[in-house]
Amino acid sequence: MNAESRTRLDQTPEWTALAEHREELAGTHLRELFDRHPGRGAAYTLRVGDLHIDYSKHLVTDRTLELLRGLAAATDVAGLRDAMFRGEKINVTEDRAVLHTALRAPRDAVVEVDGENVVPKVHAVLDKMAAFSERVRSGEWTGHTGRRIKNVVNIGIGGSDLGPAMAYEVLRSFTDRDLTVRFVSNVDGADLHEAVRDLDPAETLFVIASKTFTTIETITNATSARDWLLTELKAGQEAVARHFVALSTNAEKVADFGIDTANMFEFWDWVGGRYSFDSAIGLSLMIAIGPERFREMLDGFHLVDEHFRTAPAEANVPLLLGLLGVWYGNFHDAQSHAVLPYSHYLSKFTAYLQQLDMESNGKSVDRDGNPVRWQTGPVVWGTPGTNGQHAYYQLIHQGTKTIPADFIGFAEPVAELSDALKAQHDLLMANFFAQTQALAFGKTPDEVRAEGVPEELVPHKTFRGNHPTTTILARELTPSVLGQLIALYEHKVFVQGAIWNIDSFDQWGVELGKVLAKRVEPALTEGADVPGLDESTKALVGTYRELRGR
Ligand code: F6P
């Protein structure tokens, strides 16, 4: 597709064919699709690594999938994918390579950026992280007063927080339970207060995670943490070296902060913040679960990377998930996408995906800066499924909106649970299967009547059904499975960005708020007259100052 056609994607034959096909399918119910195609469930199931992906409960036929793959071919998703894996600078607005896949490449792989193979340095950092993690876990690394480290507090935000914080929850049963690991991200002082209030500073290690080491929230919290530690320990700057390590690309700023660069774990500008979790940014997680488990997780990522890179279009799971998202977002007016894990341990998974998806694909100009004429990234939301069932599922079942949803579940409960608690697992999973069935097939008015429901209540008790879902099922939740899941979503997001022709790897949209916050702060603290402050904000700032007695 040439540059001209790319700006008119919605007028290309591939797009138009999909729009027409959508019209043809308009009155078709999932019930009908299943009736017409015995064996649809098995036929519309793919497998990658440990993940079984059932996409039969989607409003698609073989023809739909063929047309969607046609769109992927016309927009050369495979070409951009290969360019990414080759280390080309596909992040055009920042002129950067996009190589999170190199972070989980095996030791003998070769991935070049500007002619340099980056794999050796990736593994050098992983080895350094492993050695350090082992020293902390074994008690060999001690604090300033010689006490063993028992608490690890990660300070970071966005991509420097969400990944390790999420994964720490997911893999809790693999963590060293003698270690307390906490995550501080919010510049609201309450976050740090709650994280350290019951900790002994002599036993606490702060991991300052920031790609740029300039993010105001992180630097503010890190400074407060340093003040807390030195005050509590009644120690001078020399104590910092035993209690602070940094994860960053910016050695100069790390040194300015007072952290010995020997205690810095490096990564590189070709790792995007929201894609950085398996770089040095994973250090807190590695300390918690140990290097071996961390490497298992990386292997899980790599397995899906290889699948995405090499699997044919018909069997390529990230491609399929990306295309299904395009189908609903661009041809069914779906505005959002729900991710509903049936695992308590995945409670932060959707929050992690929010940054991954929404910071990547929340764009409205194409890679050349032209406004896009089609919908881009969806609003991603969701919480663990059973809780959601008693909160917002009503709207998914009987509301007026199309909300495609991913259901993620596991056959085995986590090994550590008691037998009594393991026995609850079938009930959890019964809900998991029941929900996707109800969403797909609903309940017809006749079925409701057959239950003896009075006529006036029939409309209320009828379920339209036809709500699309993907079911992702694995045997158990392991570090490798977590890696597989994340890589699956990373590449799904990639596929969509490639089709929409947007730069999924920049995030200029978060800059304006940051700049304005810096400008507004003196108005709050000193009552300074900030030029360019609009009337509403000026009045609000005035009220704020009044309420604070200033
Ligand atoms: O929110 C914007 C952002 O730049 C994210 O992309 C990033 O993950 C986060 O801030 C934190 O940045 P840093 O790791 O540089 O502190």
**pLDDT tens across 254-282, in order?**
999 999 999 999 999 999 999 999 999 99
pLDDT over 90 (residue 203): yes
Question: For ligand 1, what atom is nearest to the CA of residue 162?
Answer: 8
**CA of 155 relative to ligand 1 center, distance in Å:** 12
Q: Is the CB of 159 under 6 A from ligand 1?
A: yes
Three state DSSP letters for 314-378: HHCHHHHHHHHHHHHHHHCCCCEEEEEECCHHHCCHHHHHHHHHHHHHCCCECCCCCECCCCCCC
**CA of 156 relative to ligand 1 center, distance in Å:** 8
Q: Report which of 56, 19, 55, 15 is spatially closest to residue 34, judged by C-alpha positions.
A: 56
Q: Which DSSP helix (H) or strand (E) runs through 207?
A: strand 204-209
pLDDT over 90 (residue 208): yes
Question: For ligand 1, what atom is nearest to the CA of residue 157?
Answer: 11
pLDDT band at 515 (very low <50, low <70, confident <90, very high): confident
User: Where along the chain do its domains lie?
Assistant: 45-75+311-506, 120-293, 509-548
Question: For ligand 1, what atom is nearest to the CA of residue 212?
Answer: 15
Three state DSSP letters for 22-37: HHHHCCCCHHHHHHHC
Written as one letter, the residue type at 97 is A
Q: Is the CB of 185 under 6 A from ligand 1?
A: no
Task: Look up residue 175 and give its DSSP letter.
Answer: S
- The pairing of beta strand 405-410 with beta strand 469-474: parallel
Cα separation, 210 vs 155, whole angstroms: 8
Residue closest by Cα to atom 6 of ligand 1: 273
Give 90-96 contacts, CB < 8 A, sequence gap 24+: 90/505, 91/272, 91/503, 91/505, 91/506, 92/367, 92/503, 93/367, 93/503, 93/506, 93/508, 94/505, 94/506, 96/269, 96/270, 96/505
Cα separation, 152 vs 125, whole angstroms: 19
CATH superfamily of the 45-75+311-506 domain: Glucose-6-phosphate isomerase like protein; domain 1 (3.40.50.10490)
pLDDT band at 530 (very low <50, low <70, confident <90, very high): confident
Active-site positions read 359, 390, 514
**Residue-level pLDDT at 227:** 98
Pocket test for ligand 1, best of 208, 211, 266 (most atoms within 8 A of CB): 211
Q: Is the CB of 507 under 6 A from ligand 1?
A: yes
Please tell me the pTM assigned to this model.
Answer: 0.97
Cα separation, 2 vs 243, whole angstroms: 55
Question: For ligand 1, what atom is nearest to the CA of residue 156?
Answer: 16
**Residue-level pLDDT at 48:** 98
Q: Is the CB of 218 under 6 A from ligand 1?
A: yes
**Residue-level pLDDT at 476:** 98
Q: Is the CB of 163 under 6 A from ligand 1?
A: no
CATH code of the region 120-293? 3.40.50.10490
User: Is 343:408 a contact under the CB 8 Å cutoff?
Assistant: yes
Whether 45-75+311-506 and 120-293 share one fold: the answer is: yes
Q: Counting every residue, how long is the chain?
A: 550
Residue closest by Cα to atom 16 of ligand 1: 210
Residue closest by Cα to atom 2 of ligand 1: 510
**Residue-level pLDDT at 532:** 86
Q: Is the CB of 210 under 6 A from ligand 1?
A: yes
User: Is 430:411 a contact under the CB 8 Å cutoff?
Assistant: no
pLDDT over 90 (residue 344): yes
pLDDT band at 3 (very low <50, low <70, confident <90, very high): confident
Q: Is the CB of 385 under 6 A from ligand 1?
A: no
- Segment 387-426, tens digit of pLDDT: 999 999 999 999 999 999 999 999 999 999 999 999 999 9
Cα separation, 483 vs 466, whole angstroms: 31
User: Is 497:464 a contact under the CB 8 Å cutoff?
Assistant: no
**Residue-level pLDDT at 232:** 97
pLDDT over 90 (residue 536): yes
Residue closest by Cα to atom 10 of ligand 1: 158
Q: Report which of 260, 250, 169 is spatially closest to residue 214, judged by C-alpha positions.
A: 250
Question: For ligand 1, what atom is nearest to the CA of residue 273?
Answer: 8
Cα separation, 325 vs 377, whole angstroms: 9
- Segment 280-312, tens digit of pLDDT: 999 999 999 999 999 999 999 999 999 999 999
Mean pLDDT value across residues 195-222:
97
